[in-house]
Structure 1
Amino acid sequence: MTDVVRWGILGTGKIARAFANALKDTPNAVLAGVGSRGLESAKTFTDEFGGTAYGSYEALAQAGDIDLVYVGTPHPAHVDNVRLALNAGKGVLCEKPFTMNRSEAEELVQLARSKRLFLMEAMWTRFMPALAEVRRVVDSGEIGKVTQVIADLGFKADFGHEHRVFNPVLGGGALLDLGIYPLSIAVALLGPVASVAAQAEIGPTGVDEQTGFVLRHVNGGMSVCSCSLRARLPSELTIAGEKGHVRMNTMFHRAQTVTVARADGISRTVPTPFLGNGYVHEAIEAQRCWQAGLIESPGMTHEDTLALMGVMDEVRRQIGVHYEADNQQGEKP
Structure 2
Amino acid sequence: MTDLARWAILGAGGIALDFLTGLPESRTGRLHAVAARDASRARAFADAHGAPVAGTYADVLARDDVDAVYVATVHPAHADLVHAALDAGKAVLCEKPLTVTPADTDALLAHAAAAGLPLVEAFKYRFGPFADRVREVVAEDLGELRSIEASFGFAAGARTGRLFDPATAGGAIFDVGCYPVSYAVGLAAVAGRDLTASAVVEATGVRGDTGVDETASVTLDLDGTRAVLHTSIVEDQTAAARVTGAHGVLEIPDVWGSRSESPTAATLRRADGTTTQIVTPAVQPMAAEADAVIDALRAGRTEAPEMPWAESAVIARLLDDWLAGF
TM-score, normalised relative to structure 1 = 0.89
Check conservation: 2:91, 2:293, Cα contact below 8 A.
no
Provide the residue aligned with 2:237 in structure 1.
Answer: 233
Could you tell me how far 1:274 is from its partner in structure 2?
2.4
CA distance in 1, matches of 2:301, 2:66: 17
Q: Which amino acid aligns with 1:102?
A: P
In 2, distance between residues paired with 1:93 and 1:248? 27
**Does residue 1:36 correspond to 2:36, yes or no?**
yes
Aligned to 2:317: 310
TM-align CA RMSD: 1.7
Q: What is the rounded CA distance, in whole Å, between the counterparts of 1:223 and 1:251 in structure 2?
A: 15
2:296 to 264, 274, 289: 289
Tell me the equivalent position of 2:192.
none
User: Are 2:107 and 1:100 aligned?
Assistant: no
The answer for the alignment partner of 1:187 in structure 2 is 185
Q: What amino acid does structure 2 have at the position aligned with 1:302?
A: W
Partner of 2:144: 145
Q: Runs ≥4 in structure 1, deviation > 3 angstroms?
A: 251-254, 263-266
- Deviation for aligned residue 1:264: 4.0
Determine helix, strand or coil for the equivalent of 1:175.
helix
Equivalent residue letter for 2:290:
A
Name the count of aligned residue pairs.
315
SS at match of 1:216: strand
Report the more deviating stretch, 265-274 or 57-66.
Answer: 265-274
User: How far apart in 1 are the matches of 2:69 and 2:172?
Assistant: 26
Alignment partner of 1:212 out of 217, 235, 241 = 217
Counterpart pick for 1:203 among 197, 200, 208: 208
Q: Which runs of 5+ in 2 are unaligned?
A: 190-194
- Paired amino acid for 2:321: E
Tell me the equivalent position of 1:65. Answer: 65
Checking the alignment, whether the CA contact within 8 Å between 2:7 and 2:66 is kept in structure 1 is yes
Query: What amino acid sits opposite 2:46 in the alignment?
Result: T
* Pairing of 1:1-333 with structure 2 (within 5 A): 2-141=2-141, 143-159=142-158, 161-191=159-189, 192=195, 193-196=197-200, 197-218=202-223, 220-253=224-257, 254-276=262-284, 278-319=285-326
Query: What is the alpha-carbon distance in structure 1 between the residues aligned to residue 111 and residue 28 of structure 2?
Result: 28
For residue 64 of structure 1, give the secondary structure of its aligned residue in structure 2: coil
Secondary structure of the corresponding residue to residue 289 of structure 1? helix
- Helix, strand or coil for the counterpart of 1:133? helix
TM-score, normalised relative to structure 2:
0.91
SS at match of 1:312: helix
- Structure 1 gap segments, 5+ residues each: 320-333
CA drift at 1:125: 1.8
Q: What is the CA-CA distance between 1:16 and the residue it aligns to?
A: 0.7
